[in-house]
Amino acid sequence: MADRKAFLLRMDPELLAALQRMADEELRSLNGQIEFLLREALRRRGREMKASSKNPIRKRP
């Protein structure tokens, strides 16, 4: 994970709880869920990142 950058993210506790529930339902970590949702939002807005074999967007069942 040398290519990852850490940063502090402040958010409403209710939003954090909702994201945690979603992550639990989709069998992801909270961090993984937030990253997935951000990548999905970029894709929907037509701002996809370049494909990377190190960091694929993984869809869970």
* HEC-encoded secondary structure of 25-61: HCCCCHHHHHHHHHHHHHHHCCCCCCCCCCCCCCCCC
pLDDT digits (tens, 9 = 90+) for 2-60: 688 999 999 999 999 999 999 999 999 999 999 999 999 999 999 877 766 455 555 55
- The one-character DSSP state at 55 is S
Contact 36, 57 (CB under 8 A): yes
Say what the pLDDT of residue 51 is: 66
Contact 7, 40 (CB under 8 A): no
Token look-up 């506790």 returns 13
Q: What are the tokens at 3? A: 């290519």
